[in-house]
Structure 1
Amino acid sequence: MKQSNRKVSGTLRVWSGVVAATLLAGCGGAEPVHPDEPFPQTQEQAQENVAAAPIVESMDAIALDRTLTSRTRSLIRARLAQGQAQVHQQVPVVSDSGQQLFLNDQGLNGDVTAGDGLFSAIGDVDFVTHQATQDRIREFQARNPQRPLMASTFDNRVRVSTRPLTALSPSVFQPGVPIPIFPAGITFAVKPANSLIITDASVINDPTRTYDPCSNSGNPNGVWTFNHLMREMANTYVSPSVLTEHWLRQWTVNQNINGWTVPARTAMMPYILTPWPRVGGALDLTRSPFKLVAIVNRLDLGGGRGPAGYASGNAGELRFVFAAVDRTSGTCGVRPFLVIFEYGVPHSSCDAVKTWAQRWLELSAPSMVLGSSAYNAALASLTQQVVVRNAAPRKPNGSAINQIRTNEEWLRYPWELREFHLMGSGPSVNRLQGQPTVLTPGDAHNDTPVLRDFINANTPAILANTYTVPTTFPTASTPFLGAFPWIASDTTSFWRATGISVNEARHKFSLNTCSGCHGRETKTGFTHIDEFGTLSPFLATGMSDPSIAYVVQDPVNTSLNREFFEIEMRASKLDSLANQSCLASAFHRRLTSAH
């Protein structure tokens, strides 16, 4: 090791005129890429993972080989955001050959000067892809001369800065010169309705892949049906009908979850279970009363960070949204009862995630007509990678499902959200069981000193997006994390308490809850995708043009307007992951929220 360091240092001294230059690219926060961890994580493990993610401000690479190739031995350097260097001793990244690296500022493994704020290590850099990225930037700039390309930095869901996205000069690409590495997601390249949130009728009503329980038309065994998803989730460990009925019967009786009594919604029986056709006493899943309304790509949740179990890997989640139908009224139709299947995409390596992103981006190609046979077949090939049995062998039943969440007011007002996890891998314990709702305290804690004390005590972590909501607080016997958030009004559903010191911490905490996200913090009327497939303004504003802001007045500080660019964030990350080298992924930070 010492001999290697002397060799590198000698080389760097020869290049001292250029190597001493400061980093050239100022970009947003970072998150290292890691392979999937054993599932599920505890909340404490998730807290440690989030806190361990340094925020990279800028990065460059200096080629040590004489020629620039797809695997060039290079000195990789990063500068951290203000205050981060005092907290972190190393910066984990993945090189472009898939090697886990730990950049350091201790004068080791190619780091020239200990303590100078530059974290460095020797690793492989794909300069071929990096140069192709610059060519692509120039191509899009030439194609849209009246609309300059921009790159945005996001803090969780909030856009905090925007800068021009400009291609590097070809003259920069030579050995011995610091070559900036930065995220370059081109949102123009993404058609959100094709590649992010898919609600088009020609897709969700595809007669070969979906089933309409009202008209009894379509394919009841299609790959986008409720029947198919439940059968693949059950695998061979349990009857799919038994798994489904046990899950739904949890609404018919009171449930105790983390010390909270989740009250029964007994309309489950007359509205859903009683009208459901049966075969030999078991629910006939080919006649299930759930209709597909959306397929959603949540690649933006990737990174293996955030709340335990959510996304749980580098490629984020794939989601299916179903609406319950009413077959009791004589005029069958969808009702406000949404069921969301949320799968962790089982891809972890940089190459696998990049391929996954590329396939989604290809759905935005001019040749891909939304809802055409070619488009639907390409989309089905993507979804099947995730939903089929044994897609995630280390998880219960071998299913990639992370959780099922529901959002409904049909069974009883007010709107209520619930969450269910697949538990166990054997017939005696195999079930979808009600669980606490992510990052959301019990409703009884809202507007109380307990909430005030929690937010004030955790303000730095909340502002840094490194907090979790514990199961109990302030004592081990006091349930804190909730299980059935209610949303009585889209104007009053947000988290607050008298005496909260920093309103920005209150806002971030509230935004990351189920009820705040589906309520006042995003100015949303309960659902982001409703039973008809209609999107909330929070989502819809960016679907036609991601550069248009959705403005929300802060519910506490009414003089403050917040601008959200949700679709821009998702589109930018998709394009960046699909087209850039692995090292650029260091700038993609995992959302704290799982919504």
Structure 2
Amino acid sequence: MRNGKNMTKRRFGTLAGSLLLGSLMAGCGAEPAPEQVASQEQQLAEAPAQGAPVLENLEFIPSQTPSAFTPGLLRARLAEGEQAAQIELTGDDGKPLALRDDGLNGDEKAGDGLFSGFGIVDLDEHRKTQERIATFQKESTEPLTVATFADRELVRESPLFPLPADIFAPGRIIPLPTTGIARAVNPSKSLIINHSSVVGDPTRTWDPCTSTGNPNGVWTFKHLMTEMANTVSPAPAFTERWLRQWLTTQSVNGRPVPSRSLMATQILNAWPRLSTGELDLNRSPFKLVAIVNRLDLGRGNGGPYGTSGAGELRFVFSVMNSTTCVRPYNGFLVIFEYGVPQNQCAQVKTWAQSWLALSNPLLPLGSSAYNTQLQNLTQQVVLRNMAPGKPNGSAINQVRTNEIMLTTPWWETREFRLFSSAANPRNFTTTTPAPGQLVEHVTVRTPFDLFNNTATLTSFLTTNNAAILAGTHDVPLDYGATLNFLGAFPQMPTNGFFWNAPNLNTVPNGFNARHKFSLNTCNGCHARETSTNFTHVGVTGGLSPFLATGMANMNTPYNVTDPVSGQVRSFFEIRERAQHLDSAANQSCVIRRFDRPVAFAH
């Protein structure tokens, strides 16, 4: 970002300038982009999205009395170091527009770094945002602030003030900063829902320990698998074919993924069957322990011109032992991770507003009304044919497992996706690929474990240094002459596992590059980089300190000492998610252009 002296040259005024210094920063990173298969809605691939250039600020000069469809001149500057021939936006009328620095069509001077173009802005919405900020200021005993984050760490926190009412007039320069009021979100109702009155709702869930509930409920393992299978195969066969992949050695990206014979004794043999021999999904051993809204994963990956998507909706299930009902040291978790099929800004905004509405203090968590509203949201995603362009018409991106049941004495994760013949077959196991089936897949941004602490990783950190530090890197199937680099079945052999490399002093900003790379791997994120014992949502629904700290108080940092550099890193994971949810729900579409893709897949 440019310094305060340069900011004064941008003619935003003293009040607006103070706002923009803190609130127009954009986060960095890139979430996996959609696979280039039959449709843009195909499941996520390994290559990160190439986001639009980062904006430093955005302003609007209305040409007439402000309204919901106000025409006028939009002007923007790129963040320091960013380059672009033009800045593409989506106006609040849903139409694309481009800002250029060519001295034409409203642009004052070519080449001065100020990009301009005509478009429509919903100033009614922007004005309501200012009124909302003022209301929260009055109701709060603490100053209202907006935070800037990078890789889950708090970069800066700045005062948030409403714009003066008289600025909304023709010819006035109106700043369009991105804001979000995290305190408007109740994270236990709108972000991570693990309350027993929800995950144990007897009309929507099934408890395999007590054999109570509704085996056909909308939040059951059976319902999700049935809708995912669609008409490809009967759900019992679809499920068993998926699980039997553990019983034989698979080959994923050219390397063996070992078999786990305990899948038979611990799960398949213990699962009740129908008279036909099929698995009885009515008596599935999987118990729901959490429903998670990951709207934050959609930033910068939605509609056109850099606007946000709706991220993911996740369901976390735990395999339950019928005798003990919990497995604190021998767990098996399955995470269904759906890409929410809402991409255009107006759709995403409605989606965000619906999740924010769950935070209403007058709507008790787990009440009949709350659970009904939540069901209305989840069914928009999990039902068959909600994503017609993806395999089976399912919105599922991937199914992940975290388990120590089959791989004692350490945790292991695996990833499965619906196989498509249009996808790169090297991403999948070569043993049992079949269209529409859940097939073992490489794990995003995580090399095979054998590359930890090797010169190959040092080389990778050096070659991809800028992208890693910016949060836009990818881990490819092969790296240079090193074949079969991107891995599968990452493990946590010790509680303190992290990715490291020799000779970090030869890598530009090597300690930070190492941390950012490790944090964005599966086993780094679930281990030492966040001081986590491999599960962020545990077998009973309990949360890791990385999440639980913010759930209790979003303003409390979760501090982790870097295992290599010794630097203390302060994470505000829940606050970042909450701020983004409120921002997406309450700001006009044109302002969503500030959203940046995030690198996190976890």
What is the number of residues matched between the two proteins? 561
Give the CA deviation at 1:584: 1.7
Which of 370, 374, 378 is the matching residue for 2:365? Answer: 370
Which of 514, 523, 526 is the matching residue for 1:515? Answer: 523
Alignment check: 8 A CA contact 2:236 2:280 kept: yes
Q: How does 1:125-164 map to 2 (within 5 A)?
A: 125-144=121-140, 146-164=141-159
Which of 484, 491, 496 is the matching residue for 2:496? Answer: 491
Report the counterpart of residue 39 of structure 1 in structure 2: 42
The alignment partner of 2:405 has SS state of coil
Which of 258, 269, 274 is the matching residue for 2:269? Answer: 274
Looking at structure 2, the residues matched to 281 and 356 of structure 1 have their Cα atoms a distance apart, in angstroms, of: 41
Report the counterpart of residue 465 of structure 1 in structure 2: 471
Corresponding position: 1:192 with 2:187: yes
Q: How does 1:66-85 map to 2 (within 5 A)?
A: 66-84=64-82
More deviation, 337-346/419-428: 419-428
2:76 maps to amino acid: A
1:28 maps to amino acid: M
Give the CA deviation at 1:351: 1.0
Alignment check: 8 A CA contact 1:313 1:347 kept: no
Looking at structure 2, the residues matched to 316 and 498 of structure 1 have their Cα atoms a distance apart, in angstroms, of: 37
Report the counterpart of residue 586 of structure 1 in structure 2: 593
Give the CA deviation at 1:53: 2.2
Report the counterpart of residue 60 of structure 1 in structure 2: 59
CA pair 176-30 structure 1, distance change in 2 beyond 3 A: farther
Which of 383, 393, 400 is the matching residue for 1:405? Answer: 400
Which of 400, 413, 419 is the matching residue for 1:417? Answer: 413
Q: How much identity, in percent, do the aligned residues show?
A: 51
Alignment check: 8 A CA contact 1:185 1:575 kept: yes
Q: How does 1:315-354 map to 2 (within 5 A)?
A: 315-327=310-322, 330-334=323-327, 335-354=330-349
Alignment check: 8 A CA contact 1:272 1:326 kept: no
Give the CA deviation at 1:304: 5.0
Give the CA deviation at 1:92: 2.2
Report the counterpart of residue 13 of structure 1 in structure 2: none
Looking at structure 2, the residues matched to 20 and 160 of structure 1 have their Cα atoms a distance apart, in angstroms, of: 25
Report the counterpart of residue 457 of structure 2 in structure 1: 451
Q: How does 1:145-224 map to 2 (within 5 A)?
A: 146-224=141-219
The alignment partner of 1:78 has SS state of strand
Give the CA deviation at 1:265: 1.1
Report the counterpart of residue 563 of structure 1 in structure 2: 570
1:111 maps to amino acid: D
Alignment check: 8 A CA contact 1:30 1:585 kept: no
2:40 maps to amino acid: E
Alignment check: 8 A CA contact 2:326 2:540 kept: no
More deviation, 107-116/91-100: 107-116
* Cα deviation digits, residues 195-240 of structure 1 (max 9, x gap): 0000001110000000001110000000000000000001112111
Please tell me the root mean square deviation across aligned C-alpha atoms, in Å: 2.3
Moved over 6 A (4+): 30-36
The alignment partner of 2:331 has SS state of strand
Alignment check: 8 A CA contact 1:30 1:586 kept: no
Give the CA deviation at 1:188: 1.1
Give the CA deviation at 1:455: 0.5
The alignment partner of 2:320 has SS state of strand
Report the counterpart of residue 10 of structure 1 in structure 2: none
CA pair 474-492 structure 1, distance change in 2 beyond 3 A: same
Give the CA deviation at 1:21: 5.2
Alignment check: 8 A CA contact 1:197 1:294 kept: yes
Which of 505, 516, 519 is the matching residue for 2:513? Answer: 505
Give the CA deviation at 1:38: 4.0
Report the counterpart of residue 120 of structure 1 in structure 2: 116
1:543 maps to amino acid: M
TM-score computed with the length of structure 2 as normaliser: 0.89
Alignment check: 8 A CA contact 1:293 1:531 kept: yes
Looking at structure 1, the residues matched to 331 and 157 of structure 2 have their Cα atoms a distance apart, in angstroms, of: 38
More deviation, 234-243/188-197: 234-243
Give the CA deviation at 1:277: 1.2
Give the CA deviation at 1:495: 3.4
The alignment partner of 1:182 has SS state of coil
1:165 maps to amino acid: L
* Cα deviation digits, residues 44-65 of structure 1 (max 9, x gap): xx44x32x4211111111102x
Give the CA deviation at 1:41: 5.8
Alignment check: 8 A CA contact 1:494 1:520 kept: no
2:487 maps to amino acid: G
Looking at structure 2, the residues matched to 107 and 519 of structure 1 have their Cα atoms a distance apart, in angstroms, of: 52
Report the counterpart of residue 5 of structure 2 in structure 1: none
Report the counterpart of residue 437 of structure 1 in structure 2: 443
Q: How does 1:542-553 map to 2 (within 5 A)?
A: 542-553=550-561
The alignment partner of 1:251 has SS state of helix
CA pair 41-285 structure 1, distance change in 2 beyond 3 A: closer
Corresponding position: 1:251 with 2:268: no
The alignment partner of 1:139 has SS state of helix
Corresponding position: 1:482 with 2:487: yes
CA pair 594-471 structure 1, distance change in 2 beyond 3 A: same
Alignment check: 8 A CA contact 1:304 1:314 kept: yes
1:276 maps to amino acid: W
Give the CA deviation at 1:156: 2.9
Report the counterpart of residue 103 of structure 1 in structure 2: 99
The alignment partner of 1:473 has SS state of coil
Report the counterpart of residue 540 of structure 1 in structure 2: 548
Give the CA deviation at 1:474: 2.6
Give the CA deviation at 1:438: 0.5
CA pair 19-518 structure 1, distance change in 2 beyond 3 A: closer
The alignment partner of 1:73 has SS state of strand
Looking at structure 2, the residues matched to 270 and 324 of structure 1 have their Cα atoms a distance apart, in angstroms, of: 13
* Cα deviation digits, residues 420-444 of structure 1 (max 9, x gap): 0011499963310001100001100
CA pair 443-534 structure 1, distance change in 2 beyond 3 A: same
Report the counterpart of residue 26 of structure 2 in structure 1: 29
Looking at structure 2, the residues matched to 299 and 239 of structure 1 have their Cα atoms a distance apart, in angstroms, of: 31
Alignment check: 8 A CA contact 1:111 1:120 kept: yes
Corresponding position: 1:573 with 2:580: yes
TM-score computed with the length of structure 1 as normaliser: 0.90
Alignment check: 8 A CA contact 2:526 2:532 kept: yes
CA pair 374-288 structure 1, distance change in 2 beyond 3 A: same
CA pair 260-536 structure 1, distance change in 2 beyond 3 A: same
Alignment gaps of 5+ in structure 2? 1-8, 423-432
Looking at structure 2, the residues matched to 584 and 248 of structure 1 have their Cα atoms a distance apart, in angstroms, of: 44
